[in-house]
Amino acid sequence: MNPNSCANCWFNALQHDTVGLNRGFCVRHKLVLNVPSETTCGLLMRKDLGVVSAERLQAIHSKSASSDGPSPLWPAGSDPRRLTDTETKVLEQDHVAAEVVDYGRVDSSIATLARLSALPGARAEIGMLSLGRGYVRNCAVRDRRWTSGIHLFRWTVGKLGDLPVLEPRDFFVSTAVSLGRQLELAQWSILMLRIRMLDDIAHHARTARGDVAGGDDLAALPDLADAAAESVPRIEPTALVKWIRSTLAPRLQKALPTSAITDILGRVRSQYAEAA
Amino acid sequence: MATDSSRSWKKSKDPLYRGDAKDAVRSPHPSASPSIVRHVLQLEGPGTETPFLSTSEEKDYAQEFAGRNGRVWTALASKAEAAGAAHRPRKDLLQLLRSGAGDAAWPSASERQEARKRVEQWAEHLFDFQGMDDEATTRALRSVFE
């Protein structure tokens, strides 16, 4: 899977690593991606990177790739019409895809994210984390409030120490390793995606406007994905879950205790009420 | 169905595969940064210039990079070495990316780990063209890839 393809972009919430449907959906361009590993665009935000690296790469990539829509990674001879579709009816038969297609359309974005968070299964979680990373960045860029990500913080922390559950039908591609090892690598990738979500929120807390209180200890956290990689160098999901439960979760609880989350939730609700 | 090629690939007899353009394998850049992480993760975008060419033990994975308009090229590691390129096998890459030594040095441990996951997942080997001049590189590409 090409790392700079739509298959690896957080605006395509239907795939991550080797997990997902065999088609994607781009919430920016509102298009079904028929071969997401063969397309890209200048808005690419890579899911396998932290937000700073993803932004850096997007800035480079946007100079050579159009942001108007998905285009072939190898332009010569490709027919772009074959690679995307506007019709979503068949795709929406899948319950996760139905939510992803609906993102930002009928209900508010956060309502869709809440529903994805409540749906069982790894693919729903991938949907929530992919779109959620875009959501918190969008809020941070728009008004420099990291607190808009408080729900996503809470939902992600709630599942942080759970080993993702995957079945063979969750994979859209086979790889060079055995199915058992493919499952482990996919579980590890989802665990790291959770950690990257929390890293993103901490990053936005660092760059938040001065009148947004409550994020100082969160902002002071080191890069959590790097800490995970240094503490658990083996790519083994059970070892990573052990570290998450023994080290990361307590650290996060200290940085942003439940009482502080409750307080922030109250403030966010007031902001929405004032804006309405 | 893909087998566990980590047990079965043999340098002396098994080929490596590369997906690329139909008419020719795109040239590496021998004088570019030799960072393995930068290459595997393509951190300068598609077409990131590196002194490496990626190959895979798995033909299906190489097809991903060939796309619909490219083709899968075949190469033997021994031929690449005879032409002056170094063969950096999957096992060596995994070890280097775990330790962060040499060309696998990288400031972000998680990005280095992500690169390691990719190398394992896609049974990746590299042909390393560091130190070769343009003429030797062009000759090597013609003789190595079929």
Tell me if A156 sits within 8 A of B99, measured CB to CB.
no
Flag if A233 and B42 touch (Cβ within 8 Å): no
What is the predicted ipTM? 0.94
Distance from CA of B101 to the nearest CA of A (A): 14
Q: Is the pLDDT of residue B4 over 70?
A: no
Flag if A177 and B61 touch (Cβ within 8 Å): no
Q: Residue A16: which of A176, A140, A240, A197 has the closest Cα? A: A197
Cα distance between residue A138 and residue A208, in whole Å = 13
Q: Is the pLDDT of residue A237 over 50?
A: yes
* Cβ neighbours of B55 in A, within 8 Å: none
In a 3-state reduction of DSSP, which class is residue B145? coil
Cα distance between residue A147 and residue A161, in whole Å = 23
Distance from CA of A251 to the nearest CA of B (A): 19
Q: Grade residue B3 by pLDDT with cuts at 50, 70 and 90.
A: very low
* Cβ neighbours of B67 in A, within 8 Å: 38, 72-74, 78
Q: Mean pLDDT for chain A?
A: 92
Cα distance between residue A128 and residue A137, in whole Å = 14
Flag if A176 and B108 touch (Cβ within 8 Å): no
Name the residue in chain A with its Cα closest to that of B112: A229
Identify the pLDDT of residue A212: 67
Identify the pLDDT of residue A76: 54
- For B:14-33, CB contacts with A below 8 A are 21
Identify the pLDDT of residue A271: 73
Residue B12: count other Cβ atoms within 10 Å of its Cβ.
Answer: 7
Tell me if A155 sits within 8 A of A224, measured CB to CB.
no
In a mutational test of the A interface, the residue from B25, B121, B122, B125 whose CB has the highest number of chain A CBs within 10 Å is B121
Cα distance between residue A105 and residue A101, in whole Å = 8
Tokens encoding A184:
């482990």
Flag if A176 and B114 touch (Cβ within 8 Å): no
Q: Is the pLDDT of residue B2 over 50?
A: no
Cα distance between residue B146 and residue A181, in whole Å = 32
Cα distance between residue B4 and residue B57, in whole Å = 10
A157: Cβ–Cβ under 8 A, 6 or more apart, which residues?
A198, A249, A252
Q: Residue B37: which of B88, B99, B112 has the closest Cα? A: B112
Q: Residue B117: which of A135, A247, A16 has the closest Cα? A: A16
Flag if A182 and B121 touch (Cβ within 8 Å): yes
Write out pLDDT tens, residues A239-273: 999 999 999 999 999 999 999 999 888 888 777 67
Cα distance between residue B40 and residue B54, in whole Å = 8
Residue A112: count other Cβ atoms within 10 Å of its Cβ.
Answer: 25
Tell me if A271 sits within 8 A of A146, measured CB to CB.
no
Count residue pairs from A and B with Cβ separation < 8 A. Answer: 109
Flag if B41 and A38 touch (Cβ within 8 Å): no
- Please name the member of A74, A177, A192 whose beta carbon is closest to the beta carbon of B4: A177
Name the residue in chain A with its Cα closest to that of B41: A3
Flag if B110 and A3 touch (Cβ within 8 Å): no
Name the residue in chain A with its Cα closest to that of B44: A57
Full-model pTM? 0.95
Write out pLDDT tens, residues A202-218: 999 988 877 666 788 89
- Please name the member of B1, B21, B117 whose beta carbon is closest to the beta carbon of A174: B1
**Residue B122 sits at the chain A interface (C-beta within 8 Å):** yes
